[in-house]
Amino acid sequence: MGASLLLLAVLPLASWSAGDAPVPRVLLIGWDGARRARVQELMSAGRLPNLSRLAAAGRWVDIQVTGDPPQTKPGWARMLTGYDSQITGVCKNQIYWPIPVGLTIFERLKQRYGARITTALLGAVQHNLGARGPHRICVNCVDQVQNHWWDEDLSRPVRPWGKKILRLMEGEPYLNARPAIDVYEVGIATPVYQTGIGAADLVGARVLDCLDRHQEGGLFLFVQFFDPDTQGHLHSEGSPEYIRALIEDDRWLGRIMSRLGSRTDASRTLLYVATDHGFEKDSPLHEDGNFQESRRSWLVTNDLAVRRGQGDICDIPTTILKRFDVRAARSDTPLKGQPLD
Ligand SMILES: [Zn+2]
Ligand SMILES: [Zn+2]
């Protein structure tokens, strides 16, 4: 009895209130820039068999990207916090601050479960999921996919218009969250950034490795597959390259599902597959906030508690936090999203 009392005394309150229930295992798989209508068209044609299988056994939700521009940095920042840029400070790809302390899913889960959960962020490219402190970006450089800015520290071919204009940034979005992320790997696909060929293989291999290493206890793993976005900018949405990128991501979804399926804990692994923004039809762009197709996102999940057919991008993290039984502290600004139940 003395021993059990001692044990109770050293357990943090959060763990005590969680009781002995196993901590959930959740994978949030991002297909960056996957246009909703194209994904549905390919599913109907039987070309995304794994996503179709997941949707058939689970749910499809139409997700709307409201508020901030349909871009990568604010898109994932919302998906990983449940807040818009007024709270996160991640406004556009080139206008951002570190997300304030404590607001990411990673930090909330660590605060709640401590060592009982593994948190992981696996990013194909560094510049949208970074955690660096002060750094400089070039705001008038143009890279091969026509973003009108570039990160000074990343070696990309740039065509400066006259003199480079550099802006000092305070820090990347995940700077404050970084200590709460156990497995942090970004820039996994940087070696093939210019063509994007083979990017899914590099990223997918890291996911399987992470699953193999962390088979016990709770898990929250976010992974960004960047393939549709890269090929969309290089060759346009709807191009054979763009379609191949979606098929590649689907192939990796299948491998991840089979890996989970071979585990005894598969029944309690929740999978959410979603995109940060869409793309304009047959266009190399999604950047403009007025483009309606770019604001159409989607979610496919095996989470059968999801009942709604439509939602906001901020509803996804709110749903995930609910599955983990994490509520925002009373002092926090309320989450923007509502659970998709
Ligand atoms: Zn994106
Ligand atoms: Zn993009």
Distance 99 CA to ligand 1 centre (A): 18
Can you tell me the distance from the alpha carbon of 230 to that of 236, in angstroms, rounded to the nearest whole number? 9
Strand, coil or helix: 299:
strand
Asked if the structure places residue 247 within a domain, the reply is yes
Which pTM was predicted? 0.91
- Tell me which DSSP letter residue 334 carries: P
Can you tell me the distance from the alpha carbon of 142 to that of 134, in angstroms, rounded to the nearest whole number? 22
Task: Among the bound ligands, name the one nearest to the CA of residue 285.
Answer: 2
pLDDT confidence of residue 190 = 85
CATH number at residue 176: 3.40.720.10
Asked if the structure places residue 334 within a domain, the reply is no
Can you tell me the distance from the alpha carbon of 99 to that of 180, in angstroms, rounded to the nearest whole number? 13
Domain boundary among 169, 195, 218: 169
For residues 214 and 272, state if they share a domain. yes
For residues 99 and 38, state if they share a domain. yes
Distance 322 CA to ligand 1 centre (A): 25
Can you list the positions of beta strands (E) in 72-212?
90-92, 95-96, 117-123, 135-138, 150-151, 166-169, 183-186
For residues 33 and 78, state if they share a domain. yes
The residue type of 308 is R
Asked if the structure places residue 2 within a domain, the reply is no
For residues 180 and 50, state if they share a domain. yes
For residues 267 and 128, state if they share a domain. yes
For residues 163 and 73, state if they share a domain. no
Asked if the structure places residue 7 within a domain, the reply is no
Cβ proximity of 88 and 105 under 8 Å: no
pLDDT confidence of residue 330 = 72
Distance 336 CA to ligand 2 centre (A): 24
Which residues on adjacent β-strands are paired with residue 301? 59, 272
For residues 196 and 318, state if they share a domain. yes
Distance 2 CA to ligand 1 centre (A): 54
For residue 253 the two structure tokens come to: 């979804």
Number of H helices, E strands in the chain: 11, 13
Domain count, the chain: 2
Phi, psi (5° rounding) for residue 8?
-60, -35
pLDDT confidence of residue 10 = 40
For residues 302 and 165, state if they share a domain. no
Task: Among the bound ligands, name the one nearest to the CA of residue 76.
Answer: 1
Cβ proximity of 119 and 110 under 8 Å: yes
Asked if the structure places residue 110 within a domain, the reply is yes
For residues 123 and 165, state if they share a domain. no
For residues 60 and 152, state if they share a domain. no
Asked if the structure places residue 101 within a domain, the reply is yes
How many residues are there in the chain? 341
Asked if the structure places residue 62 within a domain, the reply is yes
Task: Among the bound ligands, name the one nearest to the CA of residue 275.
Answer: 1
Q: How crowded is residue 310: how many other Cβ atoms within 10 Å of its Cβ?
A: 10
Strand, coil or helix: 252:
helix
Can you tell me the distance from the alpha carbon of 318 to that of 144, in angstroms, rounded to the nearest whole number? 36
Strand, coil or helix: 153:
coil
Alpha-helical segments (H) within 141-226: 199-213
> What is the domain range of residue 128?
22-132+172-323
Phi, psi (5° rounding) for residue 249?
-65, -35
Asked if the structure places residue 256 within a domain, the reply is yes
The closest of 226, 246, 229 to 286, measured between CA atoms, is 229
pLDDT confidence of residue 131 = 97
pLDDT confidence of residue 287 = 78
For residues 117 and 266, state if they share a domain. yes
CA–CA distances in Å: residue 260 to residues 26, 162, 220, 271: 11, 52, 14, 10
Phi, psi (5° rounding) for residue 169?
-105, 145
Distance 231 CA to ligand 1 centre (A): 11
The closest of 35, 231, 203, 241 to 144, measured between CA atoms, is 231
Task: Output the furthest CA–CA distance in the chain (Å, rounded).
Answer: 75
Profile the chain (341 residues) by mean pLDDT over runs of 10 residues: 42 47 95 98 98 97 94 96 97 94 97 97 92 88 61 60 81 98 94 88 98 95 96 95 98 96 70 97 83 94 97 98 87 89 97
For residues 142 and 197, state if they share a domain. no
